[in-house]
Chains A and B, each alone.
Chain A
Amino acid sequence: MNKQLGFLHNSEKCVGCRGCEMACKNLYQTDISQRWRQVFQIDENAYPLPSRMFISIGCNHCSEPQCMKVCPVGAYTKRDDGIVIHDDNRCIGCRLCVMACPYGRPQFNSVINIVQKCNLCYQRVDKGEKPACVASCVAGALELVQINSSLDAKTGVLKTLPGLPSPSITNPSIRFVGPKQGKQVRRD
């Protein structure tokens, strides 16, 4: 694999507005139960001061996708650019991928009885456009990047944040710019 597309999430700039989540829903008009992308607020106890920090997580298009490994019908494929695509037509709804993914991203849609997930808007990416979540991020906190050693070598780029499962399970294609905390002159 020479390429691996993935996300760079800036937790300093992410204000937790859920714009990325809703952009995805707006484009695909997914069922209410489906949250292919989801914004989580990091537990405050992870930081020395009260915090308001968020992570936006869609499919991480992992280098070692557990979903793809366990799928009995071969519904998952990993493209040369690293995007992990789920073929809804092949899926038989066994939900094993749902059990296998630590990020909860493949989701069973009980209306059509199959699993669905984020395919990184590959049709848009193929046209040179950004995925809907990235394109919609008002604060500029979510980017589509090549995950490689030169990205990992940059200072401030982290492989995980508090509350996320260990990256060793699937080797996810997401990196973070960690939150910073300012001074707080509080009354408490």
Chain B
Amino acid sequence: MPEKHYHVCPRNCYDTCSIISTTVNGVLVSIEGNPAHDYTKGKLCPKAMNDIQKVYNPSRIRYPMRQRQRFSGNWERMSWDEALDMIAQKIIDSKKHDGNTLSLALNKYSGNFGALHNAMEWLFSGMGPTTRAVGSPCWSAGVDAQTYDFGKFFCSEPREMGHAKLLWLWGVNPAWTAVHQMPIIFDAMDRGSKVICFDTYLSDTAARSHRFIQVKPGTDGLLALAMCKVLCEENLMDDKLYDYTLGLVEFIDYLTNSIDLTEAAEITGVKAEIIRELAIEYGQTCPACIWVGFGLQRYTNGGQTLRAIDALGALAGHIGEKGGGVHYGHFETWKFAGAGLPEQQNRQLNINRFAREALACDKPPLRVLWLSGRNPLAQDADLKHWHRLIQQLELIVINDLFLTKSAQAADIFLPATTHYEHWDLNSSYWHYWVGINEPAINPVGEAKSDLEIAWNLSAKLNRFEKGSCSFPTSGSERETALKQLGPDMLRMLGLNTPEEILDRPIKAKFPPTAWENHEFVTPSKRYEFQSSRALAAGLPALPVFEPALLPSKETPLRLLTPHHSMMINSQSYQDALSDYYDLYINPRLLENYGLKIGETAEIWNEYASLQVKVKVDMSLPEDVVIIYQQAIEQRAQARNALLNSNLSDMGDVAAGGKGLAINETFVSLRKLTPSERSF
């Protein structure tokens, strides 16, 4: 008889869909969206709909394995017992050698965003102070910016956007990265709302908007400030601003003295009259909503950009307005109870410069690295540092589903379960829903959940040396998942007992409009144009324009690497993998460099060079080239070899560390002779 189970898609994605699976005789046969979810509405994206292929994929690793020599591909199957013995022994030895546990490092992020995937962190906390990757490669600058402005990082319920009469999609491409937002936007358009898309290239979303405004990369903050200035000049500011904001006079002074529309037009690439027209429309239309994507804060001035856009929203009086606001994301529903372990004095390394900072660690140096939900050799910057770090490390453990690019460097591979094989609890950083994830099938092969691996390793450690790990050695996955709903979360969800979440996913009981009564949680309890916390963090108190890095003569092209609809970072669902990346360029660059469409060319900078196939995008400016996230053969060189770990300006206060200024990667392009081409 078919059985149904609840799941939540655990990918690092806005939509975090509620899924219902169907199993027959313990085998997954199909999945569908959960119609009871008011955001995902019973519909799933193509990535999720490939899940069954993923779960039973022949190339999924089903047993623990050991690699005799790193990067050799020479893997041997081993038992869990052997694998955990090896790891535990190495941990105990390192601890004995150094007299502490700081040589043990964990680098975990968003391969699976379920709450029980924090089990690896709990395990490490149980061992003592260790070395950890902290922060986020994704959204840090923006998170801090909104924390300075509003007091915390929060945004309206995403369906509220449907009420907007004017909708500005700023550097966000929901058609590819948050597809469930599209029907909300389309419905608003059908009801007569106007949609304007600001981006550096013509995205799928931009192509469907009423108007596409192409902005020079890294100058969005200035564009917002220039529009703020127009609002002042045209007297389109909210007349109650003095009641609920701080530093308005100073901000207006800054705009008056430091922002010049003609200069802004020059720098942003948007004509002054268009800036004026846009600002007036934004100032005069209510409600008007801005949705800011993550890409535009991945610059060295990314935090300021977000602060400038927030300020524009505030100045026009759209903050706290139903159907208005500046949407970015939130993590209010992520307040899981954890494992109740003591806070350790960990050695914290910024996840974006992990290899660089790890190499600088001394007393003790890093000896053991555990990679969980991470694929740094495909996704990180500083790949040369990573390869040096790998040489230094004495043991590399990875737990994952497939032999990823990073698994090639590992000594031990531990097979992980998918969200159809374990209990978990998941929240979204976009909508307000929280849902339980039930196992629908037994683990494939010998795969184990992160929690079970953590218990088993803790048991091993305690057997080798009693008291060496305070994390539990066994338990119930289901109970652990339910326990994540502590009193705070229960109140937020309006539940009496955690068990109620087993019946259906629950939406947090937040008012749908963020900051609706202008009750901000900044130190001044006001919207802060002028932030003392920013000042204390060594930043300007006001949102200001600071230029991002610009291309140089040697590397004249800015390389953007946006998300693709078929990928979540390095997780893909494509059947056929390519041997190479496609590079999209303006047709005139094709002429300038004497290239033909489909020809192999080289891009390079001081960090690496990469051969690519050239394709044309008519909408790209001549100083920007694009390589989308793309599923690529393991043996192919990682595109990220071109990336240096420039950091964004903000991230330390609320996001755990500064973000990665990934969009400040510059390259040069070269035609290759036939003999130089490797494909």
Which residues of A are in contact with B by a Cβ distance under 8 Å? 12-13, 15-19, 21-23, 25-27, 29, 32, 44, 50-53, 135-140, 181-188
Within 8 Å CB of A184, what residues of B? 202, 206, 211-212, 214, 619
Q: Does B402 contact A (CB under 8 A)?
A: no
Q: Complex: how many Å from CA A113 to CA B650?
A: 59
User: Nearest chain B CB to A27's CB is how many angstroms away?
Assistant: 6
Residues of A within 8 A of B403 (CB): none
Q: How many A-B residue pairs have CB under 8 A?
A: 128
Closest to B216 in A: A187
Complex Cα distance, B46 from A51, in Å, reads 22
What's the Cα separation between A179 and B123 when bound, in Å?
53
Q: Name which residue of chain A comes closest to B51, CB basis.
A: A26
**A188 touching B183 by the CB < 8 A rule?**
no
Residue of B nearest to A185 (CB): B213
Query: Closest approach, in angstroms, between the C-beta of A116 and any C-beta of chain B?
Result: 17
- B210, A185: Cβ atoms under 8 Å? no
| A19–B46 touching, CB < 8 Å | yes
Asked whether A138 lies within 8 Å of B210 as measured between CB atoms, the reply is: no
Q: Given contacts A17-B46, A136-B44, is CB(A188)–CB(B209) below 8 Å?
A: no
Q: Contact: B617 with A50, CB < 8 Å?
A: yes
Residues of B at the A interface (CB closer than 8 Å) are 29-31, 33, 42-46, 49-53, 175-176, 179-180, 182-183, 186, 202-214, 216, 269-271, 274, 565-566, 573, 575, 586, 588, 617-622
The dominant DSSP class at the A interface is loop
Residue on B with the closest CB to A139?
B182
**What are the residues of chain B within 8 A of A137 when measuring CB–CB?**
43
Q: Which residues of B contact A19 (CB under 8 A)?
A: 43-46, 49, 179
- Are the CB atoms of A26 and B565 closer together than 8 Å? no
Q: Are A138 and B182 in contact (CB under 8 A)?
A: yes
Q: Is the CB of A51 within 8 A of B207?
A: yes
* Contact A138/B209 with A29-B29, A187-B216 known, Cβ cut-off 8 Å: no
B-side contacts of A140, CB under 8 Å: 183, 186
Q: Is the CB of B30 within 8 A of A188?
A: no
Which chain B residues border A135 with CB–CB below 8 Å? 42-43
Which residue of the partner chain B has the closest CB to A51?
B207
In the bound complex, residues from chain A placing their C-beta under 8 Å from that of B29 are 29
Chain B residue at smallest Cβ distance from A12: B208
Q: Is the CB of B214 within 8 A of A21?
A: no
Look across to chain A and name the residue whose beta carbon is closest to the beta carbon of B207. Answer: A52
**Alpha-carbon gap, A135 to B175, bound state (A):** 18
A18 B43 Cβ-Cβ under 8 A: no
Min CB–CB distance B273 → chain A (angstroms): 11
Q: Beyond A17-B179, A19-B45, A23-B49, is A188–B620 a contact (Cβ under 8 Å)? A: yes
Residue of A22, A50, A182 near B210 (CB, 8 A) is: A182
Minimum distance in angstroms from A95 CB to a CB of chain B: 22
User: Which of A13, A15, A17, A182 has a CB less than 8 Å from the CB of B212?
Assistant: A182
Chain A, residue nearest B205 (CB): A15
Besides A17-B46, A185-B212, 19 other A-B contacts (C-beta < 8 A): A17-B565, A19-B49, A22-B50, A26-B51, A27-B30, A29-B30, A29-B52, A44-B618, A50-B618, A51-B207, A52-B203, A52-B206, A136-B33, A139-B183, A140-B186, A182-B209, A186-B214, A186-B621, A188-B621
CB distance from A179 to the nearest CB of B (A): 8
Task: For the complex, give the distance between the alpha carbons of A188 and B182 in Å.
Answer: 27
Q: List 6 A-B contacts (CB under 8 A).
A: A19-B49, A138-B45, A185-B274, A186-B214, A187-B269, A188-B588
Report the nearest A residue to B617, measured CB to CB: A50
Residues from chain B with a CB closer than 8 A to the CB of A51 are 207
Closest to A186 in B: B214
* CB pair A15 B586 closer than 8 Å: no
Q: Are B202 and A18 in contact (CB under 8 A)?
A: no
- CB-based closest 8 A-B pairs: A15-B175, A22-B46, A22-B49, A52-B207, A50-B619, A26-B49, A50-B618, A187-B621
Q: Do B617 and A15 have beta carbons less than 8 Å apart?
A: no
Chain B residues with CB below 8 A from A53, complex form: 207
The answer on a CB contact under 8 Å between B621 and A139 is: no
Residues of A close to B213: CB separation below 8 A: 185
Q: In whole angstroms, what is the CA distance A7 to B589 when docked?
A: 41
| Residue in B closest to A32 when the chains form the complex, CB atoms | B575
Q: Which of A21, A26, A188 contacts B31 (CB 8 A)?
A: A26
Q: Which residues of the partner chain A approach B617 to less than 8 Å between Cβ atoms?
A: 50
Q: A185-B211, A188-B586 are in contact. Are A17 and B186 (CB under 8 A)?
A: no
The answer to whether A13 and B566 have CB atoms under 8 Å apart is: no
Query: A186 to B179, Cβ gap below 8 A?
Result: no
Question: Which residues of the partner chain B approach A26 to less than 8 Å between Cβ atoms?
Answer: 30-31, 49-52
Chain B residue contacts of A139, Cβ below 8 A? 175, 179, 182-183, 186
Chain A residues with CB under 8 Å of B51's CB are 26
User: Given the complex of chains A and B, what is the CA–CA distance between A106 and B50 in angstroms?
Assistant: 22
What B residues does A21 contact at CB under 8 A? 46
> Nearest Cβ distance between residue B209 and chain A, in whole angstroms?
5
| Given A18-B565, A26-B50; A13-B182 close (CB under 8 Å) | yes
Q: Which residues of A contact B269 (CB under 8 A)?
A: 187
B210 touches A16 (CB 8 A): no
**What residue in chain B is nearest A29 (Cβ atoms)?**
B52
